[in-house]
A = this chain, B = another copy of it.
Amino acid sequence: MEPGRFNAITDVEGVGVGHSTIIRGEGPLRVGEGPVRAGVTAIVPHQGNPYYEKVVAAVDVYNAYGKSVGLPQVMHMGVLETPILLTDTLNTWVVADALIDYMRERYGVEAMSINPVVGETNGGFLNDSWGRHVRRPQVFEALDRARSPGGRGPVEEGNVGGGTPMSGFGFKGGIGTASRETEYFTLGVLVQLNCGRREDLRIDGVPVGRELSEPRPRGVKEGNSIMIVVATDLSLTSRQLWKVAKRAILGVARVGHYGGVGSGDFTIAFTTGKRSVEEMVEGLGSKYPGGSRRLSLNEGYLSLVYRAAVEATEEAVLNALFMAETMMGRDGNTREAIPLDRVREIMEKYGRI
């Protein structure tokens, strides 16, 4: 399947992404002071008011060692009514509180019931997480950027926004994104990658992790979470979107993660609803035995959407890994970027290049 123009979640029309990043200080950890390696990433589902123009949404909880905010209501009501923010674990609630400020001050929502959605992974290896440095100014900055024209173009990946201090497969991780486009729909994925053990890393099936297993990274435990956001323009119901969301973890599994005990592996999916299912069913129908009637009854057309979700998630994870750069954080803790030269050599050795 083919990627969209930006190979990013922003290929889904209307979706905007903005990062706010703080990289400040070095040396030993002093809680409240730093060093700070933190940020927040905002995803807006469209350029209107998300509270008044709610979008159909769904959540898959694969492994719930995680503190994400707002998910039960999304699952139950089947809609998302705020942008989605991604940040560092201990910053989750401050960020959620700032998000409702934004809803009131920028979107003019006075309702006394708002369901902010915030995802998190744990950046404590590099960041002064207890300092909770991501606050109102960063949240507003990320959201303003996501709503600006620039927020709808290419998406910066790696050590940015919520991904700033994160790790992946024993290397530096962070934000990654990818998309798939067909005649009938576009689907984009954005991940905040912070999971995986080095020895499990597989790139396009090649056991890169086994080849790169030395030296063993310090401070890497199994698990440690991945947040996945899936966006599409295909007008699915919440139940259907949930099934799409369930596929994302398979894309992560292909890279070698298996959802360790301490991993928060959540997928939030939403649709802008701009493309109709009817059109897709009719288009595919002629190519399918039984045609559109059978496809529609059994939702057979969804398999293509599932495949897009698996592929885009797999690629988003790899993009996070490839775009992140070596970072030193608190107490001199350092997470190295994956050595791209070595990866290239290994891929050659395994007949891929």
> Which A residues are within 8 Å of any B CB, using their own CB?
52, 54, 61-73, 75-79, 89-90, 92-94, 96-97, 100, 104, 110, 112-116, 122, 124, 129-130, 132, 202, 204-207, 222-223, 237-239, 243, 246-247, 249-250, 253-254, 258-262, 264, 266, 297-303, 306-307, 310, 349-352
Contacts and interface: CB of A to CB of B under 8 A. Distances in A.
Given A65-B113, A89-B112, A112-B124, 15 more contacts: A52-B297, A64-B75, A64-B76, A67-B73, A78-B239, A90-B114, A93-B96, A94-B97, A113-B122, A204-B207, A223-B303, A258-B306, A260-B303, A261-B302, A262-B300
Specify how many copies of this chain sit in the oligomer: 4
A20 B113 CA distance: 22
A249 to B, nearest CB: 7
A267 B260 CA distance: 18
Contacts of A259: 246-247, 250, 306
Nearest to A52: B297
A237 B351 CA distance: 45
Given A90-B112, A97-B93, A237-B239, A261 B122 contact: no
A264 B112 CA distance: 14
Contacts of A350: 350-352
Contacts of A61: 72, 76
Nearest to A297: B54
A122 B112 contact: yes
A351 B347 CA distance: 10
A100 B90 CA distance: 8
A134 to B, nearest CB: 12
